[in-house]
Amino acid sequence: MAMGIKKRAKRVIRSIVGGKEKNHQKPYIEMGENWESDDLPIAFMFGFNPWKREHMSHFFKEYRTAYVFGQVDMQRLQTFFKKYQNKVFIIWGFKEPDGLVQYAAKKKINIYRVEDGFVRSVGLGAAHTLPISIAVDSRTLYFNAREASDLEVLLETYDVSEELLAQADRCIDLLVNMGVSKYNHTTRMNINDLYGQKTKKRILVIGQVEDDASIQYGCSQRMTNNELVWKAYNENPECEIIYKPHPDVLGGYRKAYSNPQDVAQISKVVVEPLSIVDALQTIDHVYTMTSLVGFEALIRGIEVTCYGAPFYAGWGLTQDRQACPRRTRKRTIKELFAISYLVYPRYINPETGTRINLEEAIELLIHMMAKNTLSQALESRNENDNDQAEEWIHKAMEQLGDNKDWLYKECELELIKLLNETRRYEEALELSNATLKNESNLEYLIEKGRALTGLREYEEAVQVFLMSLKEEKRYSNLTAMISLLWKIEGPSSRLLKYVDQMQTNEAITMTKEDLIMLAAIYNQAGYTKKAQAMLREAKVKPREIPYLSLAVNYDYYRMNASTVSEKFVYDHMIKTEKRFEELIKSARGKFSVVIAADLFDKEMAEQEKLIVGFTRSQVDINTNKKTNVLFGPLHPQLHEQTNIRDLDLLVMNVPNVEHCYSQGVDYIRSLIERGTSIQSYPHPYYHELIKILGRQPSDEMLLIYWIYKIQGPVQSENIIGIDSIQDEREYGLINSFTFEKVLH
């Protein structure tokens, strides 16, 4: 640390001394981590946009990087050049000030030119996406066919080792199989939807920005994109011609010298956003001037015709319409790839700034692509487009392939969450179990608990949540456990323990909805004043409370219009809590529980005092007899075909409605106002059945067990359609209630 302070002090002194000079304002900015190392040479950097300067310094760790401002004359620059004995000039493209190249030659200063590498990023440079690779050349840029670049010299002279060829082979497989190209910014698509059915040989013509430097320096004769399309058509009149204009031209970002629609009569013009990887699918031959797409086609085994002289032309692999006499060596595709992608460029990890190789760069890009795809999935989920979200998640997982690392697990976890949210609990459970079989993972454990809860396997869900809470008490598993225990146990001591833990855990941030739920539990447990204090401290308004009993108790003394309405419903629920028991007892055994409505006829109906049906299969007999009691979930859509007014009682298949039902009281009040009596299921019996079964009982099980608890064994002829019960355990349990010897 002392050494670092000393060096910083030296820099301050140096800047003060420099400030005494007449022309003290530097025409450049010192950036990068190497300025503490006085022994490193200076690299004066020209033409680098401000947004990528800091990043670019990571590629040149052998220098102290000084980025020269755009508008500066050579005479002023020379004053600063003289300060440093050991220096180089690094230029982005051909963006040097006039006279710099001549000055460098005179002073014997090395010049390096820089361009984006061939596997660049997930996104365009125009969007300020940082590159993971660059090409650095001491002669000229790789696309300049007028003279030999470092890349051309390497391709002419370099002997590729077997080890390098093996690495090239692995990288080609990765690029092709994982769909990686230069920019990787366009969403993948089904190419058949765009190209249509293939009926003949396909030629893809690659449009470029017609005044781009790669064409200026790579083509000996000026040519437009439309002229290239005509060349492809005239040379292949029997083939289907597909023309992909450059996206910057289509978007109006770069000047167009030819109109794509002028060749629409001889080609299919693709104006939709389309990745290069997808564009090359089903293609037999590519026509290009100098585009890198030609090389991406070569590594996919596609024939390529070049009307310019890109770096990959002239080595015996392409059909060349422009000769380059300097290029005499014949290369294989693997050799060309090894030199151009492995030897020539530089790669870095943009997050760490460390140098990496191509394999690591491809893996990094695959991660970035998958991460972007997963972000699109989460965005779709936020917009409630679950189908699209699931499609994006699967796509992200496909992008990662066999690399089942942390990001794959994150994708899988989001898929399980989505499956739970869309009530596909069996699929969610299967995926959770597959992972938990091999490793312990808290997030997967919580989602498994949710899936079991959704499948109504309550006892097993409780055990899973207990396991997760032993690992760590989080918002997600605490709220899930509290909701489940409240449902199956009511305000038990175990539930209150977790409610207290959640309320006192400073690491957990509760929503207002959470706080109201906890207050409702305290209220049901008899801690009404505690519940009221919680709500008042959080400044909860009465109309924000969805729980009937809590709403009445919280605002009991003020009794505004909302509370009067809620108290009306609450009083009704208390008044009718014994109504079903009264009806069963008064029927004196002359009742029918109709499980299968098609087995219950008019004659049977006339013999009964009480007919009990289910909301999913209401009995509709053409007689003066009617369904007296309807049992099932409280939901408006389930009652649309039911004459609710004719019922003696509507029984909800959940307990403690006045305490736990969070859907509001409007529908319940509307039913009561229409003359319908409503009762909820007794919680003690509900809890007993869950202890026996370990899961949510069916409506048939709930109802018959209730009758059994009221009167004892039920006569088998009172149950219409008992044989239609599919669950073997419930079937056996219900049958046991029709005999004298029953389970206790």
CB 330, CB 245: distance < 8 Å? no
pLDDT digits (tens, 9 = 90+) for 644-683: 667 889 999 989 888 988 876 777 888 888 788 899 999 9
CATH number for 156-348: choose from 1.20.272, 2.40.360, 3.40.50, 3.30.110. 3.40.50
Where are the CATH 3.40.50 domain residues in the chain?
Answer: 156-348
Q: How many CA atoms lie within 13 A of 641 on its CB side?
A: 8
Give counts: helices (H), strands (E), the chain: 32, 20
Q: Which of 340, 300, 307 is nearest to 321 (CA)?
A: 307
Strand order across the 285-288 sheet: 268-269, 240-244, 202-206, 285-288, 303-306, 319-320
- E strands of 676-725, at which residues? 678-681, 719-720
Report residue 611 as tokens.
Answer: 């007919």
Q: pLDDT averaged over consecutive 10-residue blocks of the chain (744 residues)?
A: 46 43 72 90 96 95 95 88 94 95 97 96 75 97 98 98 98 92 81 94 97 94 96 98 92 87 97 93 98 98 98 98 97 98 97 94 92 92 94 92 87 97 97 92 96 96 96 95 95 96 91 95 94 93 88 70 74 91 92 84 75 70 62 70 72 90 78 86 94 91 95 89 86 78 42
Output the pLDDT for position 560.
Answer: 56
pLDDT of residue 19: 39
- Tokens 């009990």 sit at which residue? 612
Q: Global pTM?
A: 0.77
As a whole number of angstroms, the distance between CA 300 and CA 27 comes to: 47
Q: What is the Cα–Cα distance from 708 to 722, expressed in whole angstroms?
A: 15
pLDDT tens-place string over residues 468-480: 999 999 999 999 9
The identity of residue 406, as a single letter, is W
HEC sequence for 556-576: CCCCCHHHHHHHHHHHHHHHC
Q: At what angle do helices 358-382 and 386-400 cross, to 10 degrees?
A: 170
Q: For the CA atoms of the chain, what is the radius of gyration? A: 38
Name the token pair of 478.
């605490």
Structure tokens at 558: 């003020």
Q: Cα separation of 655 and 681, whole Å?
A: 4
What is the model's pLDDT at position 672? 84
Q: Which residues contact 295 (CB under 8 A, 6 or more apart)?
A: 118, 304, 310, 311, 312, 336, 340
